[in-house]
Structure formats: C-alpha cells, structure tokens
Structure 1
Amino acid sequence: MAGLPCKLIAQIAFKAGGDVFHQLFTKKPQHLATVTPVKIQACDLHQGNYGINGSVIQWKYTIDGKEQTAKQLLHDIDYTTKQISFKMLEGDLLELYKNMDITIHIETKDGVDFVTWTIIYELINADNPHPLSSELLHRVH
C-alpha cells in the first residue's frame, strides 16, 4: 500500500452548529486550545491571517498521550459551502505519511449540521498505521 494514495472519510453530527464549527476552524483556530486544552495546546499563525487562503498555521497537540506538532497551509476556504482544507507542510505526521491533506466540510441535512472530515494521504511505508486514533476521531466533540 506504500506509494498509493489513501482516503479516510468520517462524518459526525455537531450539536453546537455548523456555522460555529466552520468559523472556529477558519478564523479562530487558536481558540481550540481554550476549548480542548488537553488535546490541543496551541495554534500559532506563521504566515498570513487566520481564515485566509495561503496562510500557514502550526498546531501543538496531544494524540494518544504523545505531544506532536503540525504546520499546515490553509487553502480552499469557502465560506459559502463551509469548507476548509489544510495541506500538511511539516510535523510529526509527515514521518508516517506524505502528501497529507485534510478537508473539513459542514453541511446541513434535515436541520442537523454534519461535519465531514476527509483525509487524503500516502503511506511512506506499507507497515505504517493509517491515521486513526480514538482521540483524533473524538477531538471535535
């Protein structure tokens, strides 16, 4: 499987409202450290401005008890369709995966807001695990 693109998709209902979720991830990701300090310790702006395509942010977070970092390029931000994508530039995850892109899309179905996470990545080594973590999957609750 190494060298082949992989794709993971997860969708959850979000009770606080999709608009709130989209605004938090696009314009105020640094506030996630306040909301979930055990899992996300910081989101620092390295280039540009929060909520603007082409900006670069760096996360400090903990997954499965391990402190990690991820530097990402914000792109494909669409306020009408409530979508944002993050291209991984640097960080711990790039030790296992390459060409990792994460897209978050919010849509409303029958009055319920759903958050869909799509992760497109390539395993560096076929023995590497896929980016699944119970903490990662529950981080948005």
Structure 2
Amino acid sequence: MALHGKIVTTLELKSSAEKFYKVWRSESFHVPKHASKHIQGVDVHAGDWETAGSIRIWQYTIVKAMEGSPREEVSFDDENRIITINGLEGDIMKLYKVYKPIWKFTPKGSGCLAKLTLEYEKLHPDVPVPEIYVDLIVHMTKDIDEALSMDS
C-alpha cells in the first residue's frame, strides 16, 4: 500500500473565481462566518492575512468527536488563482508527513470551477487516506460559495 498519494476533486461554484480566490488570498478571517458548521475560528500565528509564508491556525470540527487546530503555511499564485496550504503541525500532522491542499480557481461563466488537489504522505501504512479532510474542505467550500453568492 502506497504511503503517498493525492485526491483530486472539482466543484462548480456560483461565485466568481476572483471573489473566491480573494477570500482565501486575503480574507480568510471571514471563513468562520461563512462556514461556521465546520470552521470555528482562524488566527494568524506568523505574518499576516495577505503575505505568502504566513502561518494560520484553524479551529475546525469534522464530526462531533473529531476536532482539530492545525497550523498551516499558505502560499499564493495570483496569476493562476492558486492557493497552496502546507500542514506544519497539529492533529493532521500526527497522521501525515505531508498534508498539502491546493485550490485552483478557474472562471466559468459567471461562476468558477474550484479544483482541489490534496497531496498527502501517510506516516505509516495503517493511516487512512485523508478522505474525511477532503469532505471537510468540500463542505466548507460549498458553504463559503453559498455565503458569497448571497452577498452578490
């Protein structure tokens, strides 16, 4: 069984690529407001809300018994509207040597396509593929899209 892999999924969103990218690029402090079922808070640990290399700490709930507060470093590719998050520590990093969600937002009509690629490397073969984290990110993305499309 391979220790590393990636999961790729694409969502069609009502919000524009620019609007959605902006939330992740410089306004991620709004994410708990838009996706409160899943994200309870986010704080900057180092850097700020807009600088690549800044470190953010998230408070989330996947299911009642599974909560976490990972520390992650964020980077941006403004030209291609790509956000990359590298897991640094927290509950996720007790299971995975590499935890790296990557969003790419591509315009499509008045909305966009949000392609999520989650690259991972398990610490040992018994660790599950991180599908539960992909589900969290997908639900969070849909909640944010709903909130943003209501703001339009």
TM-score when scaled to structure 2? Answer: 0.84
- The structure richer in helix per residue is 2
Contact 2:16 2:107 survives alignment (8 Å): no
Cα distance in structure 2, aligned partners of 1:130 and 1:27:
30
Q: Does 1:48 align with 2:50?
A: no
Identical-pair percentage: 26
Contact 2:15 2:111 survives alignment (8 Å): no
SS at match of 1:137: helix
Match of 1:78 in 2: 77
Match of 1:69 in 2: 69
Q: AA paired with 2:69?
A: T
Deviation of 1:111 after TM superposition, in Å, equals: 5.5
Cα distance in structure 2, aligned partners of 1:102 and 1:35:
19
Match of 2:35 in 1: 36
Match of 2:145 in 1: none
Contact 1:86 1:101 survives alignment (8 Å): yes
Cα distance in structure 1, aligned partners of 2:38 and 2:16:
21
Match of 1:137 in 2: 138
SS at match of 2:15: coil
Cα distance in structure 2, aligned partners of 1:104 and 1:60:
20
Cα distance in structure 1, aligned partners of 2:53 and 2:105:
21
Contact 2:14 2:110 survives alignment (8 Å): no
SS at match of 2:25: helix
What runs of 5+ residues in structure 2 fail to find an aligned partner? 143-152
Q: Does 1:22 align with 2:55?
A: no
1:87–1:135 distance in 2 versus 1, CA, 3 Å: closer
Residue-pair matches, total: 139
Deviation of 1:112 after TM superposition, in Å, equals: 4.4
Q: Can you list the C-alpha shifts for 1:35-54, whole angstroms capped at 9, x where unaligned? A: 11121011100111112111
Deviation of 1:5 after TM superposition, in Å, equals: 2.0
Contact 1:64 1:135 survives alignment (8 Å): no
TM-score when scaled to structure 1? Answer: 0.90
